[in-house]
Structure 1
Amino acid sequence: MTAAATTARARLRPAALTLLAWLAGLLFVLPVAWMALTSFHAEPDAATNPPSFTAPLTLDSYREFFGLNGGADPWAPLINSATASVFSTLLVLLLALPAAYALSIRRVARWRDVMFFFLSTKMLPLVAGLLPVYLIAKNTGLLDNIWLLVILFTAMNLPIAVWMMQSFLAEVPASLIEAAQIDGARLPVVLARVVAPVAAPGIAATALICFIFSWNEMLFARVLTGVTAETAPVFLTGFITSQGLFLAKVSAASLVISLPVLAAGFAAQDKLVQGLSLGAVK
């Protein structure tokens, strides 16, 4: 093979990888773009087969979602989802940080068994624990209570958070912690002023993933809530009625409900990339 052919091949490979990356990105973006376009169509235009790309645009579906045309008010479910997601994420971080510290920096005895125990809790299907949780909530008077969802979301996300933060905290230099301890810093100070700033990208990535999981959870929220603690995903199912599936309304509601997660991911994308690459082989 000549030098010119080798050079041309070396230039072609990055271009092919770039094209492949764009195609993969489009595969993920196209469904969201199609949903956004459908949300601006009237119901008759959204239900046409084949789909109409040149149909007139309208905001009727968004007016229906926000209750401007006499529909249900979405603000209470959105606030419930934000409350459950934010508070459960904060609780997860408060519990996962010292646990990950004990499993990575000041390792407890048989720490691998502890890690496997955390992982084993995710092997049980959520639906298998639905009936016991429902009975406990009913007997304790916590049905249709947003704080029950906070507790459940915390319990569901804690194993994932511990696993993620364990690998992030393992990258924290031990010399920094030893220097802080020599200066007389106690464990809470070490965690807050030494470990947390160094592992901030990993903590941000963990928080974002826990927030997304909490915001999107619907199984427990559907069964354990009614009116007072109804979350946004449960509110979304209300657009599927016995009269049929209204594609434009469902698309508009899905897009609005997805915006907080998309905004959080966009705002923390740099921290997410840094956090997920902390444990990578250099």
Structure 2
Amino acid sequence: MTAVSLSPPGRAAAPAARRARRRSAALGVLAWAAGIGFCLPALWMALTSLHSETDAAANPPALTASLTLDGYRAFFGADGGSTPWPSLLNSLSASALSTVLVLLLALPAAYALSIRPVRKWRDVMFFFLSTKMLPVVAGLLPIYLFAKNAGLLDNIWLLVILYTSMNLPIAVWMMQSFLADVPVSIIEAAQVDGARLPTVLARVVAPVAAPGIAATALICFIFSWNELLFARVLTGVAAQTAPVYLTGFVTSQGLFLAQLCAASVVVSLPVLAAGYAAQDKLVQGLSLGAVK
């Protein structure tokens, strides 16, 4: 004779539900702790930028020190020092122009490698990837000699060309995976209606792959904005970028920590603003193709 359990079904499921809730709560706490850990250095930098140089250099740190905007005043040249605006405008110009050029070149290349694949397209993709295997410093001397002989030293257009060439392989790789999810049927329908390739790219492919294009543009902009090595070697005064300007706060007289933190906060703001404005497109773009 088979024994029959008289316990209600809900009672057996209750411990499993409680374990699931506890596991979810623990993962939530862990995620918050990791997020705070990643944000803590940036918050500390922002707090240090509001201290005087004496309090910023104190050891141990003076957490309760009075707040001041002297670091920001010194950064913006309120005390008669140099102004950062030319460097900020150079960084903005080089980053924005190179990002536009990268998108204009990467979109048709990704179209040819995904929607209308060329022969041996995997070899082409590997070639793009292989260009990132060479250390940047290995190509610094030939590029410097070329720029010197061509009269392009301290020229913002040289940085635009370099940033475009540096970010193009990454952009092609990213956009190839994004464009692979574009339905071929809508492209064929546009071609049946007489649309040529530029029209297909601008009015059909680009709107559908807009999240991926936005994610690619943001990443290329960040890489260009943060680049220091080429800008430090190939520029002087006229084409000096914001990261190069930050190195001026490390002098033989010492490290002006409060001014450096204030400058770092200001230089980080454009990237943070761009990321915040495009955060929905960025999440959508980076998740394209993740789930089939």
TM-score (norm 2): 0.95
Number of the residue aligned with 1:6: 16
Number of the residue aligned with 2:144: 134
**Deviation for aligned residue 1:40:** 0.3
Partners of 2:264 and 2:102 lie apart in 1 by 27
Q: Does 1:114 align with 2:124?
A: yes
**Deviation for aligned residue 1:197:** 0.2
Letter in 2 for 1:275: G
Partners of 1:3 and 1:137 lie apart in 2 by 71
Partners of 1:71 and 1:254 lie apart in 2 by 17
Number of the residue aligned with 1:144: 154
Q: Does 1:187 align with 2:197?
A: yes
- SS at 1:279 equivalent: coil
Q: Does 1:77 align with 2:87?
A: yes
Q: Does 1:228 align with 2:238?
A: yes
Alpha carbon RMSD of aligned pairs, Å? 0.9
CA deviation profile, 1:229-255 (whole Å, cap 9, x unmatched): 000000000000011111101100000
CA deviation profile, 1:23-64 (whole Å, cap 9, x unmatched): 110011100000000000001101111111110000000000
Partners of 1:279 and 1:217 lie apart in 2 by 29
CA deviation profile, 1:124-150 (whole Å, cap 9, x unmatched): 000000000000000100000000000
Partners of 1:65 and 1:246 lie apart in 2 by 11
More displaced 10-residue stretch of structure 1: 238-247 or 76-85: 238-247
- SS at 1:55 equivalent: coil
Sequence identity (%): 78
**1:193-208 to 2 correspondences below 5 Å:** 193-208=203-218
**Deviation for aligned residue 1:70:** 1.6
Q: Does 1:94 align with 2:104?
A: yes
Letter in 2 for 1:203: I
Partners of 2:14 and 2:118 lie apart in 1 by 59
**Deviation for aligned residue 1:2:** 4.6
Q: Does 1:161 align with 2:161?
A: no
Q: Does 1:247 align with 2:257?
A: yes
Q: Please, which of 201, 206, 221 is the counterpart of residue 211 of structure 1?
A: 221
**Deviation for aligned residue 1:20:** 1.0
Q: Which runs of 5+ in 2 are unaligned?
A: 1-10
